[in-house]
Amino acid sequence: MMTEQGFPVNHTTTTTVTTSNTTVQTDIRYDPLYIRSVPGILKCVEIVLNLLVFLSASFSKFSHVAHMSFTSLICGFGFWVTGILLGCYAFHVVEKFYRIPWLKFELIYTGIWAFFLMIGSTFCAAYMGSGAVFGVVSFFGYINMIAYAYDCFLKFKSIQNGEIAQGERIKTTSTVTSPSAY
């Protein structure tokens, strides 16, 4: 038997197989620990800041100004959507419907809301000379924008890591090495 120059006589083949199992509980239950988690705390902060900005913008004497109305609308809508999401996570509704791409929905929602808050806060900051309420709305609007942007970043990292919104996804990797036969 003749071997060609540069080719090894023996070689091994390595096969790596990655499998994942998703474990979820589909019963609806209240979980007080969610509010203490980083995503839960972020949602609570976003809700409080949305409410603060909404009330400041809505009940000021400048509420008729387009910038204040826009910021008020954004924060009012953000209050309700984030509140509903908080309730869905706290009662494990998200886990019950784990096949829905919750993380992608939240990634898009938090990204858009951070952008809207940046626009609304910037417009209000441009009018700060007209009244102190513009400064308050823009300051807390920017803080809220940072909270939504950080939430968006966490959702992006979770999607990259292949996580699901609630429940567990366990990845198992097995490697098989076999010698060649000739």
Q: What is the pLDDT along the chain (182 residues), one digit of tens a residue?
A: 555 566 566 666 666 666 666 676 777 889 889 999 999 999 999 999 999 999 999 888 888 888 789 999 999 999 999 999 999 999 989 888 888 899 999 999 999 999 999 999 999 898 776 778 888 999 999 999 999 999 999 999 999 998 888 876 555 666 666 665 55
Three-state DSSP class for residue 171:
strand
Is the separation of the CB atoms in 11 and 177 below 8 Å?
Answer: no
- Residue 159 burial class via C-beta count within 10 angstroms: exposed 0-12, middle 13-18, buried 19 and up: middle
Q: Is 5 left (phi over 0), alpha (psi -120 to 50) or beta?
A: beta
pTM equals 0.79
